[in-house]
Structure 1
Amino acid sequence: MTGPTPQATELTFAVLEVSPEPYAVTPILTARIGVAAIGDDPVHALALRCQVRIEPMRRGYRDDEATGLLDLFGPRERWNTTQRTFLWQHATAMVPGFTGTTQVGLALECTYDFEVAAAKYLHALRGGTIPLQFLFSGTVFTRGSRGFAVTQVPWDREDRFDMPVAIWQNLVAQHFPNTGWLRLRHDTLTDLAAYKSRHGLLSFDETITSLLSRQEIS
C-alpha cells in the first residue's frame, strides 16, 4: 500500500504594516509582509516579486485634493471614466527557508518627482489613507521527501492595504523638508538662470516666485 500523496505547498500573503525606513539615505518605505505556507513540504527559499498599485477609486476626495488631481483625472464629473488603478512600483525580496509562517520586509523606494503619476497623486492628498493593492508573484523552492521542487506563486495572490497619508507626508518631510522637485528642460533652466541674474535674485525659488507675481499682476 502506498501512503497519501503529499500536498503541494501553497503560499498566501498579507500586508501587515507599511512604515518609513528611518535610517535610509533616500526615501524608502518598508512593507511588512506576512507569508503562510500551506502544505506538507517546508519552503527552502522564496524569490518574491510584488507589483504595488494605487486604487484611487477606493477613497473619497476633498475639493482641494480634487484640484490637485486635475492633471491625472480631470474634473470630478469625469472620474467615473478616468479613475483607474495604476502602477506605483515593483518590489522584490529573497525570503529564506521557513515552515508555517514568516515575515519579510519589501523595500518601496519613493520619488518626489512630479513628472511621475504616483508622486502627483500622493502630493495631492491632504488626509485619510492611500488605497494600495499588492499583487504577489515569484518562485517557490521546496524540499521534501522526493527532493527539491520549483513552483510559481499563483497569479491570484494579492492583498490590499490602506496606508495613512501621514506616513507618506512624514517620509517626504524627513528627506525634503519644506521643498519639492521639478524636472525642467536645459533651455528652460538656462532662461531661468539668466532671469535670476538680471534681477539680482538669490535663488531659483525666488526666481519662480517673482515670475508668478508678475503673471498675477498682468
Structure 2
Amino acid sequence: MSDMTFAVLAVAPEPYAVTPLLTARIGIAAVGDEPVHAIALRCQVRVEPLRRGYTDDEAAGLLDLFGTRDRWSSTQHSFLWQHTTAMVPGFSGTTQIELPLVCTYDLEVTAAKYLHALRDDVIPLQFLFSGTVFTKGHHNFAVHQIPWDREDHYDMPVSVWRELIDLHFPNTGWVRLDHDTIKALVTYKSAHGMLGLDAAITALLETAVQDAR
C-alpha cells in the first residue's frame, strides 16, 4: 500500500447551502506508483483552545466553558467539534477533495458557544483522518485502513465563522427555550400588542433593569 498523507488547504463558507455549512479543501498525497481506486474517508474535527490566546472580552464569553483564567490549565482541553465523511474518487499521486463541515448556532452546544465567544484571530482546529483505501492489489482488488496517526492542524480565521453565521443569521442569534417559556412569551407578546418575541424579551429585560435600580 502507498503511504498516504493529508493536509487541510483551506476552509470557507459554502454560499449556496440551505443550512450553515463550511467546506474544507483537503489535499491528499499517495506516495508511490500504485493508483488509488477510491477512499471512504472519515474525519474527526476537534478544537484545540490551548493553541491561542484570548482577550478579556473573549475570556468572559468562555467563562461557562472553562471557568476563570486561573483554572484554564486544567479545564482547557481539546474537544470534539464534529465527525464528517467523504468519498474520494480514484487518483494517482495527489488529489484534492471537499469535506463538508456542518455548523450550528445553538449556543447550548459547546463548540458553538466557544466559536461565538471569539472576536478575532483564529480558531485552532485539529483534523484526525481515518477510513478505508481501495487499491488494485496483487489480486486486482485490495482494501487497506488509513493509519490512525494521519492528522493535520489548521488555524481557521474567526472571520470565516462570522461570515458563515452572518450569511444564515444576519444580525440574529439562536437560543433554545423550554416550551412553557415560549408559551409564556407568546402570551405576553400578544397581551401587549408586540410584533415579535424579540420585542417581548427586550421589554422584560428593560423592566428587570428598572426594578434593579
TM bucket, shorter chain:
over 0.9
Q: Does 1:108 align with 2:101?
A: yes
Query: Aligned ranges for residues 1-218 of structure 1 at < 5 Å?
Result: 8-218=1-211
| Preserved contact between residue 13 and residue 33 of structure 1 (Cα < 8 Å) | yes
Superposition deviation, residue 39 in structure 1: 3.0
Length-normalised TM-score, structure 1? 0.94
Q: Distance in 1 between matches of 2:149 and 2:209?
A: 53
Structure 1: which amino acid aligns with 2:183? T
Maintained 8 Å contact 2:33/2:92: no
Contact 1:20 1:167 in 2 (8 A): yes
User: For 2:56 and 2:200, how far apart are their aligned partners in 1?
Assistant: 29
Q: RMSD of aligned C-alpha atoms?
A: 1.0
Q: TM-score if structure 2 supplies the norm length?
A: 0.96
Secondary structure of 2:204's match?
Answer: helix
Q: What secondary structure does 2:187 align onto?
A: helix
Deviation at 1:73, TM superposition (A): 0.8
| Residues 42 and 144, structure 1, Cα contact 8 Å, conserved in 2 | no
Structure 1 SS opposite 2:170: coil
Shift of 1:144: 3.9
**Deviation (angstroms), 1:103:** 0.4
Question: C-alpha distance in 2, partners of 1:204/1:32?
Answer: 39
Q: Work out the CA distance in 2 between the residues paired with 1:211 and 1:76.
A: 32
Helix, strand or coil at the partner of 1:97: coil
The residue that corresponds to 1:3 in the other structure is: none
Give the distance between the partners of 1:106 and 1:149, measured in 2 at CA.
Answer: 25
CA displacement at 1:196 relative to structure 2: 1.6
Structure 2 residue identity aligned to 1:24: A
- Contact kept in structure 1, 2:105 and 2:173, CA below 8 Å: yes
Unaligned runs of 5+ in 2: none
Partners in 2 of 1:121 and 1:141 — Cα distance? 38
Q: Distance in 1 between matches of 2:206 and 2:56?
A: 25
Distance 1:140 1:41 in 2: 12
CA-CA distance at 1:199 after TM superposition:
2.4
Give, as a single letter, the amino acid of the residue that structure 1 aligns with 2:168.
Answer: H
Partner Cα distance (1:63, 1:217) in 2: 28
Shift of 1:145: 4.6
CA contact (8 A) 2:44 2:129 kept: yes
| CA distance in 1: counterparts of 2:75 and 2:207, whole angstroms | 35
Q: How far apart, in 2, do the equivalents of 1:105 and 1:69 lie?
A: 31
Equivalent pair of 2:33/2:93 in contact (CA under 8 Å): no
- In 1, Cα distance between equivalents of 2:139 and 2:195: 72
1:13 alignment partner AA: F
Q: For this pair of structures, how many residues does the alignment match?
A: 211
